[in-house]
Amino acid sequence: MKYSMAPASKHLGELLGMEVIQAKDVIGEDAKKKAAALKEGQILMLENARFHKEEEKNDPAFAKELADMAEIYVNDAFGTAHRAHATTAGIADYLPAVSGFLIQKEIDVMGKALSNPERPFVAILGGAKVSDKIEVIKNLIDKVDALIIGGGMAYTFLKAKGYSIGTSICEDEKLDLAKELMAKAEEKGIKLLLPLGNVIAKEFSNDAESKSIASDQIPDGWMGLDIDENTVKAYTEVIRSAKTIVWNGPMGVFEMPKFAKGTKLIAKAVAESGAISIIGGGDSAAAVEQLGFADKITHISTGGGASLEFLEGKVLPGIACLMNKDRKRVVAGN
């Protein structure tokens, strides 16, 4: 059955060198019977909760039925902690709820960076769109010493500065916001770094003709697909001076080898910085892993969406429902 947990049970059993019992469903008679028959040290894998629409609806009756089979709820799925589903939040209404070691590490490392970072604190944001990162920028601009911007989102900022950006990706409806953010950074004395130069191409293709050019010289009909070497140099200097770094989003279209260099060099700079380094999931994490720098990074978040929401300063429902050592519910964020 597609999306069944059975292969996960089998693999977990192999890793642990013991049998992992598999239930036919996540609730119902079979699961209940197998849960009740569990002896100490045995493991029961319930079937995929999303086979029931009640899971994503955070249905209380469904959550209670799950809870009735157990004594304690341990959540270690940071990647889904930004969702209020029955297995990530609802169940905590019926059982003592605690975090596993992974969620603990995610909150400890990211929470400290946001609330009490070693300075200078540098955030590096990239990726396609400004609109996906607005809340992160707004939250971080009050906390960082420098904000480095790369990737497609940089072109909205460059256009807001009055530069021609050719056919580069741009969100025109965000130009005012980009101006506001740049003004705010200046007012607060925060360095907001934009690409000094770019690798531009005539088409969105790895085979396209390409060249490096300063940000105020992008010709009509060309698009920026990566940061250039001068930009990497400038960004690397700031990264080297940092004591805490948070990075989310690639510096260019790194899926195409021709435009992956900026992202790779920034990954290298972060890895070699010696700073406390935190990488949001997704593309930047993939870049660091591919390059073999993962072990030089303090923390690579296991949740793309969840880490973004954490950086936005939002309360994640899958964490807010957990208890701290005083058996009180914790609240994530800053």
Q: Which residues are at the interface with ligand AMP (CB under 6 A)? A: 127-129, 132, 151-152, 169, 224-225, 249-250, 252-253, 255, 282-283
DSSP E strands, 126-241: 146-149, 191-193, 197-201, 210-214, 223-227
Closest approach, Cβ 156 to ligand AMP, in A, equals 11
Closest approach, Cβ 211 to ligand AMP, in A, equals 15
Closest approach, Cβ 47 to ligand AMP, in A, equals 31
Query: Which residue, 225 or 266, has its beta carbon nearer to ligand AMP?
Result: 225
Q: How far apart are CA 36 and CA 238, in angstroms?
A: 57
Query: Which residue, 227 or 330, has its beta carbon nearer to ligand AMP?
Result: 227
Closest approach, Cβ 160 to ligand AMP, in A, equals 16
Closest approach, Cβ 62 to ligand AMP, in A, equals 32
With the C-alpha atoms ordered 300, 251, 157, 243, is the resulting torsion angle positive or negative? positive
- Convert 216-244 to b/e letters by CB count within 10 Å (16 or more is b): eebeeebbbbbbbeebbebbbebbeebeb
Segment (H or E) for 124: strand 121-125
Query: Which residue, 79 or 282, has its beta carbon nearer to ligand AMP?
Result: 282
Q: Which of 156, 256, 163, 268 is nearest to 208 (CA)?
A: 256
Closest approach, Cβ 321 to ligand AMP, in A, equals 28
Query: Which residue, 224 or 303, has its beta carbon nearer to ligand AMP?
Result: 224
Q: In the bound complex, which residue of the shown chain has the CB atom lying closest to ligand AMP?
A: 127
Q: How many CB atoms lie within 10 A of CB 212?
A: 14
Query: Which residue, 131 or 324, has its beta carbon nearer to ligand AMP?
Result: 131
Query: Which residue, 166 or 333, has its beta carbon nearer to ligand AMP?
Result: 166
Name residue, tokens 């904000």: 147
Q: Which two tokens stand for residue 138?
A: 């707004």
